[in-house]
Structure 1
Amino acid sequence: MMKLYNKLKVKFLFWKKFGIKKNSVTGITGSGGKTSLMFCLAEELSKQGKVLVTTTTKIYETR
């Protein structure tokens, strides 16, 4: 996922745009893109500390 993310040369950080603060709990809902967004947020936030990612559905490792 991050390979694509880096290729796009995104000029902003998702966690800043969404106003996610340290030690907060964040939920993602909707009908598409949740897993991709979750992995992008996890990657960004992991640079600041530990991140726990979980889901109520199946997530397969990206290839």
Structure 2
Amino acid sequence: MRYCEFPLGLKHKYQVYTCADLTQLREAGYCEPMMGLEEVVQRYCAGLLVGASLLAPTVERLFT
């Protein structure tokens, strides 16, 4: 994974940076650490692959 600069032409049209305030979540008792970006992306992609493999028989029937 590599970082790509945010396109200058979009800087004033989209939010460039986000950061969640976890104060209320922590006060409610949630104390687990947050996942890093790389782990989140890996899990997301794995979920897409699993979902795709589960849908494959259905999609295949549409085209046969």
Give the TM-score of the pair, scaled to structure 1. 0.23
| Structure-2-length-normalised TM-score | 0.23
Larger radius of gyration: 2
Q: Which has the higher helix share?
A: 2
